[in-house]
Amino acid sequence: MQEVTQKLFELQDLSYREFHSRLMPTINPETIIGVRTPLLRQYAKEFEKTGDVQAFMKELPHQYYEENNLHGFLIERIKNFEECIRQIDLFLPYVDNWATCDMIRPKVFGKHLDALFLHIKRWILSSEPFTVRFGIEMLMTFYLDDAFCVEQLQMVSEVHSEHYYVKMMVAWYFATALAKQYDATIGYYEQGVLEPFTHNKAIQKAVESNRIDRETKEYLRTLRKK
C-alpha cells in the first residue's frame, strides 16, 4: 500500500485536486490526492502486471479516493465474469461517492447480460445507496439497446430512496431511456410515476440532451410537476 500511495502522489496535480474536490461535497478533501483519470487508468494497466493486485484489493477500506478509483479500474480489467462479480460485491460496500461508482464499467459484463441482469436485480434492492446507483447505471450502460425490455423501466421506477445520488441516477436513467426507447418510456413521464424531484430532474436531463429533438423537449416541459 505504501508503494501504491507513493506512486499516486507522484502523479498528483494540485490544481486538478482543487477542482475535483468541489465536485464531490460528500468526500473529505484531504483524502483526495488529485490524479487525472487517464493517468490513473494507465497506472492500473501497469500495476496489473506487478502481481500485487490481489494484495492491494484485500486492503479495504482504502485511505484515499484515488486508491478506490484504482481498485475500481483493476476490477474493470478482470476478464472472468464470476471473479469480476465477486470483486464488485466485495468492493461496492466501500464506495462512498458518485464518481468512483460511475467509473466502474467492466467490459466483461457485456458478454454475460443474462447473468448480469440477476445481479443487477440484487444490487438495486441493496440498502447501500451507491450499490443501488451502480445497479441502475449498469442497466443504463448495457440494457437500453438490444437487451432492453420494459421490465427494466419498472424496476428502476420502483426504486424509492431519499439519497440524493440515487435519485439523480434514476433521473439520468429515465432521461437516457427516453432518448433510446421513447415509446416505452414516455408513459412514465406522462403518468408521473416518479416522485416530483426525480421526475423533474429526469425532464431537466432530457431537455439538456442532444439526443432528444426540440419538439419533444417542448412537450416534456409541459409535464413538469409543481
Helix (H, G, I), strand (E, B) or coil at 149: coil
Encode pLDDT of 32-73 as tens digits. Answer: 999 999 999 999 999 998 888 999 999 999 999 999 999 999
Does the pLDDT at position 1 exceed 90? Answer: no
Q: C-alpha grid cell for residue 19?
A: 477542482
Q: Judge whether 21 and 32 are in contact, CB under 8 Å.
A: yes
Residue carrying the nine cell digits 464531490 = 24
Encode pLDDT of 134-160 as tens digits. Answer: 999 999 999 999 999 999 999 999 999
Does the pLDDT at position 25 exceed 90? Answer: no
Q: Judge whether 95 and 101 are in contact, CB under 8 Å.
A: yes
Dihedral over Cα of 95, 101, 106, 112: its sign:
positive
Does the pLDDT at position 128 exceed 90? Answer: yes
Identify the structural domains of the chain with CATH numbers, from first to last.
Answer: 1-111 (no CATH), 113-226 (1.25.10.90)
Q: Judge whether 98 and 25 are in contact, CB under 8 Å.
A: no
Residue closest to 226 by CA, chosen among 199, 205, 207, 206 = 199
Does the pLDDT at position 188 exceed 90? Answer: yes
Share of the chain above pLDDT 90, in %: 94
Q: What is the reported pLDDT for 226?
A: 87
Torsion, Cα of 103, 107, 112, 118 (10° steps): -10
Q: What is the reported pLDDT for 2?
A: 84
Q: What is the DSSP string of 60-104?
A: -S-SSHHHHHHHHHHHHT---HHHHHHHHHHHGGG--SHHHHHH-
Helix (H, G, I), strand (E, B) or coil at 222: coil
pTM above 0.85, yes or no: yes
Q: What is the reported pLDDT for 26?
A: 86
Q: Judge whether 89 and 31 are in contact, CB under 8 Å.
A: no
CA distance 92 to 134: 8
Average pLDDT, the chain: 96
Q: What is the reported pLDDT for 8?
A: 96
